[in-house]
Amino acid sequence: MTAAAAKTALATPTAGAVPLRTAPLQTLRFRLILSVALVHVVLMGIFAAAAVREQADRIEQELLNRGHALISMTAVASTNALLTEDLGALAEIIQKVERQPDVAFCEISDSRGYILGTTTPDRLGKRRPPRVSHSDRFPLASGDPTLDLREDIRIAGQVVGTVTLGLSTYRMDSAMHKTWRDGIFFILLALVVGSFAAWALSLATTRKLRGMVEATAKIGKGDLDVQLPITSRDEIGMLAIAFNNMVASLRHASEEALREHRQRTQAERLACVGEMSASIAHEIRNPLSAVINSVNLLSGDALHGDERSQVISILNSESHRLNRILSDFLDFAKIRESQPARGNLAALIEEVAGMLRQDLPQEKNIRVAVACPPGARLAVFDHDHMRQVVWNLVLNAVQAMGDGGLLSLRTARRGDKIVVTVADTGCGIKPDFIKEMTKPFVTGRRDGTGLGLAIVQRILIQHRSQLSVSSELGIGSEISFELDSGG
């Protein structure tokens, strides 16, 4: 078919539903747990950092106070020993200071800077360095493990000696590490407890939401009797109440729509009966007049020989035509409900093609080709009804081709559907006739009753399908429809 070809779908297709599935990392539960965990980590981190800082300040201050007290006491205790240069007494004082916690070293030097008492014996008698360290307050210089304090010993404003004291920060550092460890432990504990609490909370909430999703899915399938239990007075409870109210309104609207639909259908049916009766009356009027005329002519003595045989032949053919119109109409009127089941569509198409090949008169040069590829052989259909559908379509195609051409019957897979196509190289169909031709008694042929496509249409509606027509005048037509593949 070219782009100019007329293509018309004879009914509106139904839209596909989106499956109800959540991505694991996008669930409400996951997000809730993640946010609670993050908030916990950040808050506990800030809290732990503040606690460690406070603890550090306290320990530092305590060490500093202790250092100042100790150095002052040492200075007072060593004044006399310094004046008398009593090295034994100074050694005793040094030993006492050394026994104090955190003392790393202690030195007592005279006014000239010579060390007279020290915790490091090989420095005895040597000059003390001008300044051991500058770490006499916190924070200590980096890499310095001791807090170094120095105090001059004075008598009447005169410097008679100096005490230098080094306090180790080892105990303080370990205490701070312990505080950090405790902090991290509490952060992890809070993380676990918080995540568990968030999980439990989200479980309760998402369970209710899941109930709503399931209820909504049921509504989508047409069940309007769903009701959600009201188990709480929170926002979810309010949502459930609003949901139930909405379902009640929907139910009411649907009952109204059904009532209106029934009334409309009844009215349409009556209109249809009227239209059909008019069509039947119109269809049978011509052959009936011919029958009446023929009977009148035959009942007199006016006709003899060939004339009489000719009128009898007209009478015969017109009564047959009448009979065909009525039996086609009966077929149309009494189409039963389709009972679709999964079956071998390819076999059915082959069967129809076989019947057609047998029926085709020798003089007609029509080739019948069938193509049903694997994967497009099974479908869901009512066997007898579908044979009627395909048969009507191929008959129309053959009638459109006249003396010769190619008739092809194809199936193809399109997603979860099987597309059946009957294509011919016949006369084609006028674009504005395409929408009309499925109506009962609409025919483009002199001897047609116009019920073939009306029957096809009714059967396809029962299969939730529709005809799609693509045609080009003088080139040919393609008529197709879809069936569920059923797997």
Q: Least distance in Å: CB of 393 to Mg ion?
A: 8
Q: Least distance in Å: CB of 454 to Mg ion?
A: 9
Q: Give which of 415, 22, 472, 486 is closest to 213, Cα–Cα.
A: 22
Site residues for ligand ATP, window 268-327 (CB under 6 A)? none
Interface residue with ligand ATP among 400, 407, 460, 483 (CB under 6 A) is 400
Q: How many residues bind ligand ATP (CB under 6 A)?
A: 22
Site residues for ligand ATP, window 364-393 (CB under 6 A)? 392
Site for ligand ATP contains 448 (CB under 6 A): yes
Of the pair 226, 397, the CB lying nearest Mg ion is at 397
Site for ligand ATP contains 75 (CB under 6 A): no
- Please tell me the distance from the alpha carbon of residue 389 to that of residue 460, in angstroms, as a whole number: 8
For tokens 């059909």, the residue is 276
Q: Which stretch binds Mg ion (CB under 5 A): 290-298, 317-325, 396-404, 421-429?
A: 396-404
- Please tell me the distance from the alpha carbon of residue 79 to that of residue 175, in angstroms, as a whole number: 35
Site for Mg ion contains 440 (CB under 5 A): no
Site for ligand ATP contains 431 (CB under 6 A): no
- Please tell me the distance from the alpha carbon of residue 479 to that of residue 218, in angstroms, as a whole number: 36
Query: What mask of x and - would describe binding to ligand ATP in positions 109 to 128, judged by CB under 6 A?
Result: --------------------
Site for Mg ion contains 396 (CB under 5 A): yes
The vertex-45 CA angle with 43 and 51, nearest 5°, equals 105
Q: List, in sequence order, every residue forming a beta bridge with 424; answer none if it has no partner.
A: 477
Give Cα 297 to chain centroid, integer Å.
78
Q: Which stretch binds ligand ATP (CB under 6 A): 28-36, 146-154, 353-361, 444-452?
A: 444-452
Q: Is 257 exposed, middle or buried (0-12, 13-18, 19+ CB in 10 A)?
A: exposed
Query: What mask of x and - would describe binding to ligand ATP in positions 317 to 356, judged by CB under 6 A?
Result: -----------x----------------------------
* Residue 19: cis peptide before it, omega within 30 degrees of 0: no
Q: How many residues bind Mg ion (CB under 5 A)?
A: 2
Q: Phi/psi of residue 318, each to 5°?
A: -70, -35
Listed in sequence order, the residues at least 6 apart from 363 whose beta carbon sits closer than 8 Å to its beta carbon are 403
* Residue 139: cis peptide before it, omega within 30 degrees of 0: yes
Of the pair 116, 451, the CB lying nearest ligand ATP is at 451
Is residue 7 a contact partner of residue 470, using CB atoms and an 8 Å limit?
Answer: yes
Of the pair 405, 452, the CB lying nearest Mg ion is at 452
In the complex, the residues that contact ligand ATP under the rule CB under 6 A are 328, 392, 396-397, 400, 424, 426-427, 429, 437, 442-445, 448-454, 477
